[in-house]
Amino acid sequence: MKMKTKVFSILLLSAMLMITGCGSKGNAGSTAENEDTFKVGLEAGYAPFNWTQKDDSNGGVSIAGTSEFAGGYDVEVAKKIADGLGKKLEIVKTEWDGLVPALTSGKIDAIIAGMSPTAERKETIDFSYNYYKSNLVMVVKKGGKYEGATSIQDFNGAKVTAQLNTFHYSVIDQITGVSKQTAMDNFPVMRVALESGMIDGYVSERPEAVSASAANGNLVMVEFKDGFQTSEDDTAIAVGLKKGSEYTAKINDILKGISEEQRTSIMDAAIKNQPAAK
């Protein structure tokens, strides 16, 4: 009986060691994989900065966990950063409101999603150097009452909105007598709302507005002589990173190597290649 017990104990101990050994190898492999991957979060719904497409045409990158691909200006910048870091780029499609939580929880390594480095966001996360700068405009219906607007004050009484949790929405308050509508989740929804007459216009950045008018002949961009008052950080776009991230200095060096001419060329190509514009 004692011999049987001893043999059983030895077998049990051996089995436990085998299980522990397998577990260790699995964890090591997972860690190595994470170290080789640069995970970038973006909406894939904010053309020309980022969008979703069905294949890898025009440099599209596979979206993790799906059969879809992401393309756009942000994706091209992300590719350059990943290459500079010597890592494989992984795109993690994430709703706008979920980007910062995904970053702080470690689900992604960076946000490259047309995000402005506002003072409020800087309280929670760090930002790289700017990789794009734009101006605020309005998207309205072509042939409508507001197409000829030259000042934001021409939208007195107009139904205007912008994307939820963006500074675009807060600047609407600068329009005297505006009928500020509930903020909307994303730009495709705002385009539909505008075309249907639910709103008279939405605040956007110039590249998105150019994309909107290119994708839909019923929409047009309005630029202002007397426009919105913004800070430099509001209209700039940078890479979002965890506080104290080891990537920040490296990414800044990579961004410094991308000239203004290259950035303009990448944006022009993104506007041209966006799926809806074809």
Q: What is the pLDDT of residues 194-228, one digit of tens each?
A: 999 999 999 999 999 998 998 899 999 999 988 99
pLDDT > 70? residue 278? no
184-190, long-range: CB < 8 A, 24+ apart? 185/95, 185/96, 186/43, 186/45, 186/46, 186/96, 187/45, 187/46, 187/47, 187/163, 187/212, 188/45, 190/139, 190/161, 190/162, 190/163
| Residue 16: per-residue pLDDT | 46
Distance CA 138, CA 169 (A): 12
Q: What pLDDT score was predicted for residue 42?
A: 98
pLDDT tens digits for range 105-130: 999 999 999 999 999 999 999 999 99
The CATH T-level fold of domain 136-222 is D-Maltodextrin-Binding Protein; domain 2 (3.40.190)
pLDDT confidence band for 275 (50 / 70 / 90): confident
Query: Residue 257, exposed/middle/buried by CB under 10 A (0-12, 13-18, 19+)?
Result: exposed
Strand 69-71, strand 61-62: pairing: antiparallel
Q: Tell me the per-residue pLDDT of 190-200, one tens digit each, with 9 for 90 and over.
A: 999 999 999 99
Domain 37-133+233-277: top CATH class: alpha beta
What kind and span of H or E run contains 62?
Answer: strand 61-62
Strand, coil or helix: 261: helix
pLDDT in tens, 161-188: 999 999 999 999 999 999 999 999 999 9
Residue 57, pLDDT > 70, answer yes
Is there a shared CATH topology between the 37-133+233-277 domain and the 136-222 domain?
Answer: yes
Distance CA 44, CA 25 (A): 35
Residue 277 pLDDT greater than 90, yes or no? no
Reported as a single tens digit per residue, the pLDDT across 225-254 is 889 999 888 889 999 999 999 999 999 999
* Cα–Cα distance, 52 to 44 (Å, whole number): 5
**What pLDDT, on the 0 to 100 scale, is given for residue 83?**
98
Q: Hey, where are the domains in the chain?
A: 37-133+233-277, 136-222
Strands 37-42 and 219-222: what pairing?
A: unpaired
Q: What is the pLDDT of residue 29?
A: 35
